Amino acid sequence: SVGGYGSLVVNTSNNRIEKKISDNDLNAIFFVDNETAFVVGNSGELLITKNRGKNWQKIELNTKVNLQSIFCLNKNDCRIVGDSEGLLITGGIAKKWQIENIVSGGELEDVFFVSEKVGFVVGRNSLLLKTDDGGKNWQRISLNYKTEVSQFIEGIFRFESVSFFNGKIGCV
């Protein structure tokens, strides 16, 4: 797991390893295979390990947005979202990282792809977006849902996590 103050915590059946890998708060980790993982965090932090977390390398991105979530189909096909500016960042080990704005002023929280083409992004203000073309175009999806006071943060309803079984069945 990752967290505040750049901390990485690894729990195994034999021990627990804690170490600092960044000066920024870290928000998400995604392993693409037994050796390779990406970590995203505040101030545009993107880190990669190719040796199970023993060493971490910083990848420079041209943004200081707090990166909230990363989802990879494989080590060359990853998507990252940030909590302001509506940014979607795509790339991978052998693929140059590209930054694009997919929704003006969007505060994005999570990203999930079921295939190369079909993916979802969620965020504040009940934001749910879907793509059927790999992220070139995004459509806003409206949901009918019942809200309770406990579901509001700072007076703004936000979706914080998304997971889909296929392009039509999933949870937000």
Q: pLDDT digit string (tens) for 78-132?
A: 999 998 889 999 999 999 999 999 998 889 999 999 999 999 999 988 899 999 9
Residue 151 or 2, more confident: 2
- pLDDT class of 33 with cuts at 50, 70, 90: very high
- Is 26's pLDDT higher than 80? yes
d(CA 13, CA 41): 27
What does the block give as tokens for 113? 């792809």
- Residues in contact with 137: Cβ distance below 8 Å, sequence separation at least 6, in sequence order: 131
Q: What are phi and psi of 69, to 5 degrees?
A: -155, 150
- pLDDT class of 152 with cuts at 50, 70, 90: low
- Is 147's pLDDT higher than 70? no
pLDDT of residue 109: 95
DSSP 8-class letter at 66: P
- Is 75's pLDDT higher than 90? yes
- Is 11's pLDDT higher than 80? no
Q: What HEC string does 27-41 produce?
A: EEEEECCCCCEEEEE
d(CA 44, CA 9): 21
Taking the model in full, what pTM does it have? 0.89
C-alpha pair distances (Å), 104 with each of 53, 86, 92, 121, 144: 35, 6, 25, 14, 23
